[in-house]
Amino acid sequence: MKPNKSKQVWLVTCWEFMHFFKWKQELISKLIMIAIAVVVYFWQVVKNDDVTIYQIALASPNITLQSAGQFNFEYVENNSLSAYELLRQEESKYDAVIAINTDNSDEQQQLILTVNDKQSWHNNLNTEILNQYRQTVAQQLNLQPSQLLLLQTPVSITQQYADQAIKSEDEVSDTIAIVMIVLMAVGIFTSFGQLFASITGEKQQRVTEQLYSCISAQSWIDGKILGQLLHAIKAMVTAGFTGLIGYAFMAVVINDQSIDLAMIDWSFIPWLFIFSLLGIYISTAFIAAVAAAIDDPNHSAKTSMMLLPLLPVALVFMTMDDASGWAMSLLSFLPLTSFVAMPVKMSLIDVPLWHTLLSLALGIALAAWLRSGAARMFKMGMTMYGKEPSVGMMFKWMIKEPK
């Protein structure tokens, strides 16, 4: 009776996925994340409720500062002690001492702030001093509050592009592109770790060579790739939802703001999903083929080759600042890098539909070729013990099955 290959592939896919999917550990990890968020929330509440009033000593009558907020400024009269002595004397009520290096009003004044140690409220104190100093100088120059506000307001720069394909909201586009790269790296790292442990473990226990009698190498590696593909998708979706929940937590609970999801281009999501599937499939097939050739995972030099699927992510991250340049265009069409470069480019600029379809077609062609090549390398590598194949021999297996 002829074996049903689709059933065999599905059987291996389910086994590979359930081998690493432990719902209890997944639930525990999510509960730990929720517990961390609760701790952060309560720490923020406790921190905000603990408002301390700091006593600041002014060592010179020429310093004009008025008490405001959490800072109470107080002049020290007839004081012969230095700032250090004033802070360190017994029963000192001061948290900081402000002195001035010159009393000549014609020279640029320099304030000297002396504190006991380094604490976070010092930045707030510096900001308060600068604000009051600006107001004092403005009064001396007879500036109106509106004139002072105009001087303090930074100029707004709106950048426009002659190339209409470039999306104008640079910050939002860059954020989406970086998030896309991070999610892709999460998927590749997930499949890398699990597939490496799975294949090298099975090879050392000589499990796979026994299964060759009832299932083909192509069906076996197809199932493993699809199983890891499902794991990578789960990791990417989980990371995406975790990021959204974290953003909502920070916006609503911590910063008391509303959730703004206007930055998400929902029409871009299907393309992101398709290219992610393609990229994870190509990366997983490559990792499976190389892992099969590793005889000893603790000492093999080929272990470093399994990090090569991260090279496209690094190259695109280095090139994304020039989305309209030739380098990004080249990466978006190369099948080895297009699964990262094209969605990143689409998030930054408007890309013609035929560019996207051509990039996708080239990627699918590479995935189809890599599928059969990875099966040949997997078949030969899993039955080869004692001596690992050379890189040249592995390339020959990728192109043609040895006789």
Q: DSSP strand E in 8-105: where?
A: 54-58, 71-75, 96-100
Question: DSSP letters along 368-394, please?
Answer: HHHHHHHHHHHHHHHT--SSPPPHHHH
Cβ atoms of 388 and 300 closer than 8 Å: yes
Question: Is residue 162 classed exposed, middle or buried when 0-12, 13-18 and 19+ CB atoms within 10 A define those classes?
Answer: exposed
* Residue-level pLDDT, tens digit, the chain, 403 residues: 556 778 888 888 888 888 777 778 878 887 887 888 788 777 777 766 666 788 888 887 777 788 888 888 888 876 677 777 777 777 778 888 888 776 565 666 678 888 888 787 888 888 888 888 888 878 878 888 787 778 777 777 776 667 666 665 555 666 777 787 788 888 888 887 788 788 877 777 776 666 767 778 788 888 888 888 888 888 888 888 888 887 777 777 766 677 677 667 777 778 888 888 898 888 888 888 888 777 776 666 666 776 777 888 888 888 888 888 889 889 999 998 888 888 888 888 888 899 999 999 999 999 998 888 888 877 777 777 767 777 777 777 777 776 6
What is residue 252's DSSP assignment? I
Cβ atoms of 199 and 224 closer than 8 Å: yes
List the one residue out of 297, 123, 73 whose CA is nearest residue 201: 297
Cβ atoms of 238 and 230 closer than 8 Å: no
Question: Per residue in 316-327, pLDDT tens?
Answer: 888 888 888 889
Question: Per residue in 254-270, pLDDT tens?
Answer: 666 776 776 677 777 78
